[in-house]
Amino acid sequence: MKSTQKQGGQLPLVLFLVFISLVLIIVFASFGSVKVEAKDVFLSLIGRQENEIYKNLIVNIRLPRVIGTFLVGAILAVSGNVLQLLVQNPLADPYMLGISSGASFGAVLYTALNSIYGFTLFLGLEGFSFLFAVLSTFIVLIIARQGKKLPILSLILSGVIVSFLFNSFTTLFTVMYWKNLIHVNLWLMGSTGNLAWSSNLKLLIILLVQFFIVLIFSKELNVLAMGEEMAVYSGINPESIKMLLILTTVLSVSFTVSQVGIIGFVGLIIPHIVRMIKGPYSFISNLYSVFFGGIFLMFADFLARTLFAPTELPIGVVTSIVGAPIFIYVMRRKERL
Amino acid sequence: MINIDKLKFTYNNGFSLNVDELDVKKGDIVSIIGPNGAGKSTLIKIISKILKNYTGRIMIEDKELSNYSYKEISRKIAIVPQEFNTTFEYDVESVISTARLPYSRRFSFFETQEDKKIINEVLELVGLVKYKNKPFSLLSGGEKQKVMIARAFAQKTPILLLDEFSSHLDPGYTQNLLKLVKTMAEKERKTVLAIFHDINSAALFSDKIVVMKDGEIKYQGSPKEVFKESIMKEIFDIEVYIIEHPLNKIPQILYK
Ligand SMILES: Nc1ncnc2c1ncn2[C@@H]1O[C@H](COP(=O)(O)OP(=O)(O)OP(=O)(O)O)[C@@H](O)[C@H]1O
Ligand SMILES: [Mg+2]
């Protein structure tokens, strides 16, 4: 690998990926219950669409969904990459810190309170799942903390334990009130169908902030990925940087989950594939995770919408069906991490 | 340069290190020898700020170790650890470039020209130029050690801490790198504290030898002072015969 590949010299390829992403956004936006020509999507995009129905369909329904899906995929992939580098474990994923179990519990709890006891809580389903995702992660971090340190192994273990705990409560609620909770289960398996421009704006801001922080600390993240002792040898306080990067990741993923439910495998597999192609160098692998994650999830969403149309599959099911074989393949040639 | 006074450190599982006094002057080359589990690496880890809950005093250039920030200490001390590997496929160049982080500024995302020059120089020194863009994790044990030595050089610090830096090297390279480190140290008046298992190398390498066992310093002095049959018997439980090196008059050990 030439050293330029670790640093500069990325511009042509990145521009190419930007271009491909834009083309794919237009292509995927043209599919759905009503097929729209890519040309019409493009015309709507630049504000030249005269057919009001098309315009409404594309600008208010299709585009926000496709673009939002890209953003979600990008956030999940970058988060996965940061966490894998940080805990030096290529099998880590953004949900390992208890985010998904916390979010599920929050969603189920809200639905139970709302539909059974008739409370209408001002935070809504999204707010509840976000809060509980953050809460469960904080519990994980508190349990894992030893003195001022946050050892990786205890982080992984407490993640597993807290996830079990929250999942049991979720199951308990589901068993007790199962009739009312079926739609929550569907929501939990993920869907980007409800994404609107307003949430896309928030997702975009989150992605930009996250990417900016990762960019500023890219050297530190590289050193941490070589081990905490290496960080100390290189004059870096491993604990504070680890904490900052974990917090950024947790907040980003929790918000994303609250918007679209739990979409697995993107944060696990995409970073893997990116590092196989581009190496682990943090700036590069995060940059490419944005595009690979976004494109992968747009594709998964496309399959979810069209495979059994007019029925829509939960996108989490598609990513798992596509992702699991890739994951097994990658694991089996694990000499290359 | 390094002055240790009544240092005490205990691991959770009970091993405790007690160093009453250890003084390493500027430009000194000091070796630590002692059996497995004596606490040699522990001492190095304390001085490099990896282990922190110690009591007593450790002065590095007239300032207490705990008053140094990580960044400050990394400009004073470079370390070659006993074991090091990477999970991910970082190449040799990026492993070495971490040694330049103590001097990097925030918002400088890539290596400077000076960093690149230094990285090439140190690779040249250990003879690994053509390995520059190979994945570190795929190198042999000895090659990894050479990279870590190069990395420590690239950090440009007045103090070097070496934990068995020659344990995986073949005889030719052991001699080669011992000489290299010694010449570098003498030329730049670096202070070196090095752990050895090869007692004879320790004698050839250093001005002063520290003998550790059970978490304590049992003896310290010039090679002549500590190379005694009785001491070797007490510390390592080995039968040895001590002779003088015919060329440089340094004591050497023959195993009986
Ligand atoms: N992280 C740790 N936690 C608890 N005990 C430890 C830890 N690291 C080392 N020890 C114990 O401390 C003692 C000293 O270990 P240390 O690594 O300092 O020995 P050493 O002199 O470097 O030995 P060697 O020559 O084998 O490298 C050993 O008994 C070891 O089991
Ligand atoms: Mg040791």
**Per-residue pLDDT averaged across A25-51, rounded?**
78
Contacting residues for A335 by C-beta, under 8 A, at least 6 apart: none
Kindly indicate the confidence band of residue A5, based on its pLDDT and cuts at 50, 70 and 90.
Answer: very low
Q: Say yes or no for a CB contact (<8 Å) between B90 and A90.
A: no
A51 interfaces chain B, CB cutoff of 8 Å: no
**CA gap A269, A273 in Å, rounded:** 6
| pLDDT tens digits, B17-64 | 999 999 999 999 999 999 999 999 999 999 999 998 899 999 999 899
Instruction: Report pLDDT for A84.
Output: 92
**pLDDT over threshold 50, residue A1:** no
**Per-residue pLDDT averaged across A111-129, rounded?**
76
**Per-residue pLDDT averaged across A102-116, rounded?**
83
Q: Say yes or no for a CB contact (<8 Å) between A226 and B93.
A: no
Kindly indicate the confidence band of residue A29, based on its pLDDT and cuts at 50, 70 and 90.
Answer: confident
Kindly indicate the confidence band of residue A24, based on its pLDDT and cuts at 50, 70 and 90.
Answer: very high
| Ligand 1 geometric centre to CA of A300 (Å) | 50
Structure tokens at B196: 């050895």
**pLDDT over threshold 80, residue A181:** no
**CA gap A120, A142 in Å, rounded:** 31
Peptide bond into B35 cis (omega under 30): no
Record the pTM.
0.90
| Contact status, residue A90 vs residue B86, Cβ threshold 8 Å | no
Residue in chain A nearest B152 by alpha carbon? A233
| Contact status, residue A213 vs residue A243, Cβ threshold 8 Å | no
| pLDDT tens digits, A202-234 | 999 999 999 999 999 999 999 999 999 999 999
Instruction: Report pLDDT for B215.
Output: 93
Listed range (A36-45, A116-125, A219-228) with the worst mean pLDDT: A116-125
Q: Say yes or no for a CB contact (<8 Å) between A229 and B49.
A: no
DSSP of A117-135: H----TTHHHHHHHHHHHH
**Per-residue pLDDT averaged across A186-204, rounded?**
86
Task: Give φ, ψ of B243 to 5 degrees.
Answer: -125, 170
Q: Domain extents for chain A? A: 18-336
Share of chain A above pLDDT 70, in %: 93
**Per-residue pLDDT averaged across A13-29, rounded?**
90
Quick count: other Cβ atoms within 10 Å of Cβ A121?
12
Domains in chain B: ranges and CATH: 1-76+157-224 (3.40.50.300), 88-102+109-156 (no CATH)
- The superfamily CATH assigns to domain A18-336 is ABC transporter involved in vitamin B12 uptake, BtuC (1.10.3470.10)
Q: Which residues pair with B10 in a beta bridge?
A: B16
**CA gap B130, A76 in Å, rounded:** 37
Q: Which residues of B touch A215 (CB under 8 A)?
A: 109
Quick count: other Cβ atoms within 10 Å of Cβ A185?
17
**pLDDT over threshold 80, residue A117:** no
Q: Which of the two residues, B244 and A47, has the higher pLDDT score?
A: B244
Instruction: Report pLDDT for A8.
Output: 59
Instruction: Report pLDDT for A4.
Output: 40
Q: Which residues pair with A184 in a beta bridge?
A: none
With a cut of 50, which residues of chain B have pLDDT below it?
Answer: none
Q: Say yes or no for a CB contact (<8 Å) between B74 and A233.
A: yes
Structure tokens at A104: 């599920």
Start-to-end CA span in chain A (Å): 16
**CA gap B196, B30 in Å, rounded:** 10
* Identity of residue A247: L
Q: How far is CA B41 from the centre of its chain?
A: 9
User: Which among B69, B78, B94 is the nearest to A222, CB-wise?
Assistant: B94
Is ipTM beyond 0.95? no
| Contact status, residue B35 vs residue B87, Cβ threshold 8 Å | no
| Contact status, residue A158 vs residue A143, Cβ threshold 8 Å | yes
**CA gap A327, A140 in Å, rounded:** 26
| Contact status, residue A83 vs residue A268, Cβ threshold 8 Å | no
**pLDDT over threshold 70, residue A6:** no
Instruction: Report pLDDT for A335.
Output: 53
Kindly indicate the confidence band of residue A3, based on its pLDDT and cuts at 50, 70 and 90.
Answer: very low
Q: How far is CA A92 from the centre of its chain?
A: 13
Kindly indicate the confidence band of residue A284, based on its pLDDT and cuts at 50, 70 and 90.
Answer: very high
Which letter, b or e, does each residue of A87-115 get, where b requires 16 or more Cβ atoms within 10 Å of its Cβ? bbbbebbbbbbbbbbbbbbbbbbbbbebe
Q: Which residues of B touch A220 (CB under 8 A)?
A: 101
Share of chain A above pLDDT 90, in %: 38
Residue closest to A210 by CA, chosen among A96, A94, A100, A74: A74
